[in-house]
Amino acid sequence: MADLRLAVIGDPIAHTLSPLIQGKMMERLGVPGSYDAHLVHTEGLGDFVKFARENLDGFNITIPHKSHILPYLDGIDTYAASCGAVNTVRVTDGKLYGFNTDGNGIVSALRLMGVSFQGARVSLLGAGGAALSICKKALEMGAKSVTVFCRTPAKAAAMAEDPRVTVRSFDQLSADSCGKVSDVIVNATPLGMSGIDSNFSDFSFLDGTSAAVCDIVYKPAETSLLRECAARGIRCCNGLNMLIYQAIYAFEIFLGQSFNRDDMGAYLGKEVRKALGQEA
Ligand code: NAP
């Protein structure tokens, strides 16, 4: 097999777990090649694209270039286009094809909890890039409704285009608006994340809920939201499986073939928890 030449770009890039995760997959599957992290400033994106067309088989994209890359693409898949964001680019014969694997990442994370978006009433906290990709995937998977709670409702405009989506202000988050009327609750804000000062002011929105909760934050492993869920006996997961499965779907795109995702997911879970100092 020829070497697979891969990379990840972002600004900043030092924090990225992608080289670890993609490198472990290459190693486990015996795929030869390289996966390098490139710090790319916005003004340098054109130069990187030229380099990628000539030298790479694919690359991942993190903040802030997930939307900046769009004008450079030769093709984009339908879901990524609906998100207006691409996290995975396959390079074939010098042409760039864009994908977004975040949505499949959260679908896999929920599946491992025995939960699906299909027919679900979803409450989504936040209206940033991750929230948009989750909202679009929930709708694609047949969610009955998506209620977006956010500080800046204008940012939810692309979500509100679908009649199943309702946008509410973050301070309207309550048991009556969320906990008691949701099947799935997803936190897609950085509240509770290590290094972020702000946190949920209270958890009364979980009162009386029978919903499953996914906090897409994965550092720390147990956020205050998840600690609260555990204390209340609510089914919940953090964002680690979303992170791992979006990477698995990306690697399948690079490789051009699929493999046993759950076997790989379990292996990567151990490796990433080790790297994050989160071993049980
Ligand atoms: P983003 O585009 O910056 O969006 C963040 C969202 O959170 C915005 O809606 C923002 O509201 C809201 N927010 C921030 N602080 C808030 C507060 N104090 N109260 C209420 N809302 C607040 O970020 P993102 O890329 O969507 O990422 C969001 C989180 O998900 C991050 O923690 C990121 O690490 C995590 N993430 C995890 C995965 C995974 O694979 N597990 C993937 C992607 C992202 P405003 O617009 O009003 O600021």
Q: Could you tell me if 145 and 96 lie in one domain?
A: no
Same domain, 17 and 135: no
Pocket probe for ligand 1: among 107, 216, 272, the residue whose CB has the most ligand atoms within 8 Å is 216
Q: Same structural domain for residues 22 and 114?
A: no
Q: Which of 24, 66, 136, 219 is catalytic?
A: 66
Question: Does one domain contain both 115 and 93?
Answer: no
User: Does residue 137 have an active-site annotation?
Assistant: no
Task: Please check whether residues 267 and 153 belong to one and the same domain.
Answer: no
169 and 64 in a common domain? no
Same domain membership, residue 226 and residue 118: yes
Same domain, 67 and 133: no
Q: Please, which residues bridge with residue 166 across strands?
A: 147
User: Going residue by residue through the chain (280 aa), what tens digit of pLDDT does each one get?
Assistant: 789 999 999 999 998 999 999 999 999 999 999 999 999 999 999 999 999 999 999 999 999 999 999 999 999 999 999 999 999 999 999 999 999 999 999 999 999 999 999 999 999 999 999 999 999 999 999 999 999 999 999 999 999 999 999 999 999 999 999 999 999 999 999 999 998 888 998 999 999 999 999 999 999 999 999 999 999 999 999 999 999 999 999 999 999 999 999 999 999 999 999 999 997 6
pLDDT at residue 198, as a whole number:
85
Ligand 1 touching residue 83 (CB < 6 A): no
Q: How many CB atoms lie within 10 A of CB 100?
A: 29
Q: 189: domain CATH number? A: 3.40.50.720
Supply the CATH number for residue 91's domain. 3.40.50.10860
Same structural domain, 149 and 245 = no
Domain count, the chain: 2
Which residues constitute the domain of residue 153?
104-238
pTM of the model: 0.96
Q: What's residue 280's pLDDT?
A: 64
Ligand 1 center–CA 259 separation, angstroms: 31
Q: Residue 121: phi, psi to the nearest 5?
A: -90, 115
Q: Establish whether residue 109 lines the binding site of ligand 1, counting it when its CB lies within 6 angstroms of any ligand atom.
A: no
Q: Structure tokens of 16? A: 């990225």
Residues 261 and 150 in one domain: no
Q: Are 208 and 167 contained in the same domain?
A: yes
Q: Which of 101, 108, 189, 194 to mutate to test ligand 1, by most ligand atoms within 8 A of the CB atom?
A: 189
Q: Give the distance (Å) from ligand 1 centre to CA of residue 121.
A: 21
Nearest CA owner, ligand 1 atom 30 = 188
Domain check: are 228 and 249 in the same one? no
Q: Is 126 in the pocket of ligand 1 (CB under 6 A)?
A: yes
107 Cα: distance to centroid of ligand 1 (angstroms): 18
HSE at residue 123, side-chain half, CA atoms within 13 A, is: 28
